[in-house]
Amino acid sequence: MCYSKEIESEMVKLYNSLSEKDKRRYAAIEAKKLGHGGIKYISELFECHRNTITGGKSELENKEVEKFNEKAIREKGGGRKSCFGYQN
């Protein structure tokens, strides 16, 4: 029940590029694909706690997953305001 070293390396690269929310969900999906022992294997591979994976599973099962364009990770209007065209 393990992937090749090459595949593991690619999985870890992808995992490290994701937001925290997406990391939980990706780890949960990978663990679920593996079945028995999947949580332990994936938590060791991604160096994350097993509660992270179970939290991701819970999110996926409870349909808390937003649609792709429904909600952005960052809210609109955040950050520094432009000084051009600013009126008091």
Non-local (6+) Cβ contacts of 28 within 8 A are: 53, 54, 55, 56, 57, 59, 60
87 by Cβ neighbours in 10 Å (0-12 / 13-18 / 19+) ranks as exposed
**Is residue 15 in a domain?**
no
Q: In whole angstroms, what is the distance from residue 49 CA to residue 67 CA?
A: 26
Looking at residue 70, its pLDDT comes to: 55
Residue 17 domain flag: no
Quick: pLDDT tens for 17-69: 999 999 999 999 999 999 999 999 999 999 999 999 999 999 998 865 555 54
Tally of structural domains, the chain: 1
Domain that holds residue 59: 35-66
Whether this model's pTM surpasses 0.75: no
The residue with greater pLDDT, 72 or 45, is 45
Question: Does residue 40 belong to any structural domain of this protein?
Answer: yes
Residue 73 lies in a domain: no
- How many other CB atoms sit within 10 Å of the CB of residue 23? 19
What is the per-residue pLDDT for 67? 55
